């Protein structure tokens, strides 16, 4: 594929990614508790000039590996400390994922430019992928290393085993540094199932050599991860050492069985997570044709990538939707090849559903929200109107075979962007923790100690550029802390409908009100807020 063809293939999905990134930066604050927590960990890394042992609110933090925090600090070293750089890291990885997905598509179906183009449109405009491509989280970065490892497997299967398994080792090591050992669950099933998807290549492969190379790649990847873990364990002491070597494996498996959800929990969510694609009857028609047309090598590879991991995540009872993000490129490749095999039907159902969403948006903007939802404030009407126009345009453009995928992709991206714009005026104040962070900072700068009366996720540390931790208190700890800190202040969280007589500062916070009280005010709190 010539460079001009590569540019044309990537240009549309990359433009969608750029638009969604701009919308996220303009209308959505860093969201507690996850985004604010991770950027606060990076902030403490910056403050302490400590790049081996991670800290959250002054305490060692072993829940995540360091790569994302290193990248945040690398950008800050170049551009200075800011909020926008950490919010660009996931979009940049998402852009890299488009190129890697294109590279894999070319290896699997070298004669099908349509498959390459289809796969990128499908990946770039899948709802869950768009959400996490514009979030300061780990999953799109993890997907990058999954794609890199899958590309390495294909290079190895095509005859360049040393080069291919070197890429696999690198992907394993960096994946562990990105999000821990879960990278092995994503990569090893496809590697082990190679006789099913690659057995007929080049007269067959030496499978003893293949599995030996997998073991070597695994050891190489572990070596890359240990290059950080061993110095960090020595530097962080016994407790931190046990946490990163044990907590990142066995303990995380134990934790995965908390918050139990049923085996089938992911299945009914897939149409929403993959919107608009699983609502497209034309794609279902191509799925139905599989029995007649059979599986080629590329489709088998995608199934070996998707199916075992999806089944494993289904068996693990502690499910989260973002666990599925690294599987989305496999779905995009699989669906893209099916669409490249033949014609697909119209796009009326996704367009109709989008029009219904637009109608609901316009109705609530004009009629107002019910009392229980009044915290969202007044809603603008124009995003709903724009979505309605997009839905009608997609329905019209979808009549043309060559425009169906771009039309659906633009519709899906438009829906995601416009819903964010629609809810932002009411929702943003409840999730933007910068005002409270700045209020705490002003107190700390005057030497006033501040505590948090609840479990504290470090949500105010980066927002206020705090240089001191907050004491984390339970209700029973409050009297003793106030006695030791009679001039201190306490952040408490109360029902949004409740009015406290006086406070140093307050703001809406995730459906509640976060209130900053002086010690004297905190002493007058009733036992139950």
The answer to whether residue 54 sits within a structural domain is no
The answer to whether residue 514 sits within a structural domain is yes
Q: Which of 341, 359, 384 is the last residue of a domain?
A: 341
Parallel, antiparallel, or unpaired for β 505-509 and 512-518? antiparallel
- Alpha carbon separation from 285 to 188, 400, 409 (Å, rounded): 31, 17, 19
Same domain flag for 302 and 449 = no
- The pLDDT value given to residue 529: 47
Distance CA 475, CA 274 (A): 43
- The pLDDT value given to residue 159: 85
The answer to whether residue 46 sits within a structural domain is no
- For 147, the domain range is 3-30+62-341
Same domain flag for 459 and 382 = no
Q: What share of the chain is helix, strand, coil (3-state, %, to 5)?
A: 70, 5, 25
Distance CA 444, CA 438 (A): 10
Distance CA 124, CA 144 (A): 14
Same domain flag for 271 and 401 = no
Beta-carbon count within 10 A of 33 CB: 14
Parallel, antiparallel, or unpaired for β 489-495 and 450-453? parallel
Same domain flag for 300 and 212 = yes
For helices 182-192 and 297-315, the axis angle rounded to 10 degrees is 140
Contacts with 276 (C-beta within 8 Å, 6 or more apart), sequence order: 125, 127, 347, 350, 353, 354, 408, 411, 412, 415
Same domain flag for 396 and 512 = no
The answer to whether residue 45 sits within a structural domain is no
- The pLDDT value given to residue 198: 86
| Tally of structural domains, the chain | 3
> Which of 101, 110, 143 shows the shortest CA–CA distance to 296?
110
- The pLDDT value given to residue 249: 56
The answer to whether residue 49 sits within a structural domain is no
DSSP assignment string, 187-211: HHHHHHTHHHHHTTGGG---HHHHH
- Helix (H) or strand (E) segment spanning residue 431: helix 404-431
For 381, phi and psi rounded to 5 degrees? Answer: -90, -25
- Alpha carbon separation from 107 to 112, 203, 351 (Å, rounded): 10, 18, 33
The answer to whether residue 497 sits within a structural domain is yes
Q: What is the pLDDT along the chain (529 residues), one digit of tens a residue?
A: 557 777 788 999 999 999 999 999 999 999 998 999 999 999 999 999 999 999 999 999 988 999 999 999 999 999 999 999 999 999 999 999 999 999 999 999 998 888 999 999 999 999 999 999 999 999 999 999 999 999 999 999 998 999 999 999 999 999 999 999 999 999 999 999 999 998 755 456 788 899 999 999 999 999 999 999 999 999 888 788 888 877 655 545 545 555 578 889 999 999 999 999 999 988 888 888 888 888 899 999 999 999 999 999 998 877 899 999 999 999 999 999 998 876 777 789 999 999 999 999 999 898 877 765 655 667 899 999 999 999 999 999 988 888 889 999 999 999 999 999 999 988 888 899 999 999 999 999 999 999 999 899 999 999 999 999 999 998 888 889 988 999 999 999 988 777 766 788 989 998 889 999 998 888 877 665 4
The answer to whether residue 24 sits within a structural domain is yes
Beta-carbon count within 10 A of 192 CB: 14
Question: How far does Cα 190 stand from its chain's mean position?
Answer: 23
pTM for the full predicted model: 0.93
Tokens of 506: 């307050």
Same domain flag for 118 and 195 = yes
Same domain flag for 96 and 84 = yes
Same domain flag for 336 and 288 = yes
Same domain flag for 263 and 189 = yes
Q: How many residues does the chain have?
A: 529
Q: Which of 414, 431, 448 is the last residue of a domain?
A: 431
The answer to whether residue 55 sits within a structural domain is no
Q: Which of 320, 341, 362 is the last residue of a domain?
A: 341
Same domain flag for 80 and 198 = yes
Same domain flag for 326 and 398 = no
Same domain flag for 97 and 118 = yes
């Amino acid at each position: 594929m010539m460079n001009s063809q590569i540019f044309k293939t990537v240009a549309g999905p990359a433009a969608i990614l750029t638009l969604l990134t701009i919308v996220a930066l303009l209308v959505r604050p860093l969201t507690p508790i996850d985004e604010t927590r991770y950027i606060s960990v990076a902030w403490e890394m910056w403050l302490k000039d400590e790049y081996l042992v991670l800290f959250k609110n002054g305490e060692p933090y072993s829940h995540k590996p360091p790569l994302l925090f290193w990248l945040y600090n690398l950008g800050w070293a170049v551009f200075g400390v800011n909020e926008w750089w950490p919010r660009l890291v996931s979009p940049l990885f998402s852009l890299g994922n488009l190129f890697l997905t294109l590279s894999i598509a070319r290896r699997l179906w070298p004669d099908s430019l349509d498959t390459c183009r289809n796969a990128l449109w499908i990946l770039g405009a899948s709802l869950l992928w768009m959400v996490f491509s514009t979030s300061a989280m780990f999953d799109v970065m993890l997907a990058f290393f999954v794609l890199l490892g899958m590309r390495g497997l294909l290079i190895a299967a095509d005859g360049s085993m040393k080069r291919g398994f070197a890429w696999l080792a690198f992907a394993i090591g960096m994946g562990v540094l990105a999000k821990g050992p879960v990278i092995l669950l994503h990569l090893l099933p496809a590697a082990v199932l190679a006789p099913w998807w690659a057995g007929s290549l080049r007269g067959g492969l030496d499978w003893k050599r293949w599995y030996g190379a997998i073991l070597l790649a695994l050891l190489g990847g572990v070596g890359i991860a240990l290059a950080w873990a061993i110095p960090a364990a020595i530097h962080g002491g016994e407790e931190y050492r046990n946490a990163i070597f044990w907590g990142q494996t066995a303990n995380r498996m134990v934790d995965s069985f908390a918050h139990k959800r049923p085996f089938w929990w992911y299945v009914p969510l897939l149409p929403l997570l993959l919107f608009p694609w699983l609502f497209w009857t034309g794609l279902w028609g191509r799925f139905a044709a599989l029995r007649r047309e059979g599986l080629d090598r590329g489709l088998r590879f995608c199934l070996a990538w998707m199916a075992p991991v999806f089944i494993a995540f289904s068996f693990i009872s502690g499910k989260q939707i973002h666990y599925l993000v690294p599987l989305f490129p496999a779905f995009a490749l699989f669906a893209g090849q099916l669409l490249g095999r033949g014609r697909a039907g119209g796009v009326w159902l996704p367009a109709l559903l989008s029009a219904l969403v637009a109608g609901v948006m316009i109705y609530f903007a004009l009629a107002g929200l019910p009392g229980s939802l009044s915290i969202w404030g007044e809603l603008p009407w124009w995003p709903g109107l724009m979505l309605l126009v997009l839905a009608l345009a997609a329905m019209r453009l979808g009549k043309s075979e060559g425009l169906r995928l771009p039309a659906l992709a633009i519709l899906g991206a438009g829906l995601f962007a416009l819903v964010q714009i629609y809810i932002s005026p009411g929702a943003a104040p409840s999730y933007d923790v910068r005002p409270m962070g700045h209020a705490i900072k002003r107190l700390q700068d005057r030497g006033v100690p501040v505590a948090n009366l609840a479990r504290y996720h470090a949500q105010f540390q980066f927002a206020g550029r705090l240089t001191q931790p907050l004491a984390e208190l339970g209700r029973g700890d409050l009297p003793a802390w106030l006695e030791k800190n009679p001039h201190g202040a306490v952040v408490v969280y109360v029902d949004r409908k409740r009015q406290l007589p006086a406070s140093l500062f307050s703001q809406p916070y995730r459906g509640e009100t976060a209130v900053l009280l002086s010690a004297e005010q905190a002493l007058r709190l009733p036992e139950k807020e």
